[in-house]
Amino acid sequence: MDLTFLNQYINLVVLGICLCIGYVIKTSLDFINNKYIPVIMLVVGTGINMATNLSNINAAVILGGMISGLASTGLYEAMRNLIDKDGKKGE
């Protein structure tokens, strides 16, 4: 199944904001369990995308926020894996 059509819904501004918020939650807020971070990013991404499109909120705007928020968690994991290969940070 080809999911590349979802790329048109990714909003880079929302993705970047969610990536930063997710990073802060992951590294600084120990009382939040890691399994809740994708759900938080989904809600935050949806909220930000809806706030930036107040005059025209529709299903595409909501879907774009959800996908951008969830994509930020995947992007964080990809970046972490590139930086920390085999448990050796920067070596």
State how far the Cα of 52 lies from the Cα of 72, in Å rounded to an integer.
18
- Segment 36-77, tens digit of pLDDT: 999 999 999 999 999 999 999 999 999 999 999 999 999 988
Q: For residue 23, count other CB atoms closer than 10 A to its CB.
A: 15
Q: pTM for this one?
A: 0.82
Burial class (CB in 10 A: 0-12, 13-18, 19+), 27: exposed
Give the H/E segment covering residue 89.
strand 88-89
Give the H/E segment covering residue 24.
helix 12-28
In which band, very low, low, confident or very high, does the pLDDT at 10 lie, cut at 50, 70 and 90? Answer: confident
State how far the Cα of 41 lies from the Cα of 47, in Å rounded to an integer.
10
